Amino acid sequence: MSLKIWLDGQLVDRADAKISVYDHGLLYGDGVFEGIRVYAGKVFEGPAHLRRLYDSAKAIRLEIPIPPEKMMAAIEQTYKANNFTECYIRAVVTRGVGDFGINPRNSKAPSVFIISDLINVYPKEIYEKGIPVITASYIRNHPSAQSPRIKSLNYLNNVLAKIEANDAGVPEAIMLNHAGNVAECTADNIFIVRGTQVQTPTTCDGILEGVTRKVIMELCAKNKIDCIEKTLQRHDLYIADEMFVTGTGAEVMPVTKVDGRVIGSGEPGTLTKKLIELFHKHVRG
């Protein structure tokens, strides 16, 4: 059965889900998106994802043509049409069809499309072993250029950092900000553990405020685990007792090596494993 894609108000077959080559999302990366998971037939943290989507659109002065409740209804319609109970959702809003030239006034109507599909997830044994990462030479967006808090279609610096990770033979790369402090990975937020305290970069450090990151911080508070936001430097990574990354795709993934340096014992730490367990219980609850 061909996958159904929601495109500007209609479900169409995947082969027919096409946008114009004049769409400014394609020509200039002018648009926003969200990646969302469905667990056991339910959209995970749907309101938080939609809030970030609409905030990102507002930040780039892009008016999404449907209200959040209709966007959620479209998301549910899409994955149910494909008979998914466990899947990944990609919701995208572009500036729409325009002409050559970056002036957004030339795009008369935004375009919205929603994809539901399966994603490649890390095998279980990777979560038991953890992953190695590197620090990338490419930095996160400077806040005076384009706010890194906007989840836009402009992902080229993240892509280039991912290429560096590929070249190094590791699955992820940590990106620093313009001041040389730790921001986040190419597609995930980062946490370290020092003693019994969980630490993660602040919103002023060049991060995208991840939905899974928020859930982990809430789980820490609920379970009386000390968790703070603070500016971290590369030095803090190297001396961490534990490390993990969080994201819609990765969920909660232990990190056991950074730039060839072993983190802690070289195995997923006690707090990391506890948070993985708490997260899995939470998404099924």
* Three-state SS at 117: strand
Sheet containing strand 31-39, edge to edge, reads 10-13, 4-7, 111-117, 87-94, 31-39, 42-43
Strands 182-185 and 31-39: unpaired
Say which residue the tokens 């894609």 belong to.
5
User: Cα–Cα distance between 265 and 257 in angstroms, integer?
Assistant: 10
Name which of 162, 156, 159 is nearest 134 in CA terms. Answer: 162
Catalytic site includes residue 151:
yes
User: Cα–Cα distance between 130 and 254 in angstroms, integer?
Assistant: 5
User: Cα–Cα distance between 240 and 278 in angstroms, integer?
Assistant: 22
Out of 108, 124, 151, 162, pick the active-site residue: 151
Query: Residue 32 is encoded by which pair of tokens?
Result: 């926003």
**DSSP code at position 100:** S
Name which of 69, 107, 106, 74 is nearest 91 in CA terms. Answer: 74
Q: Which residues belong to the active site? A: 151
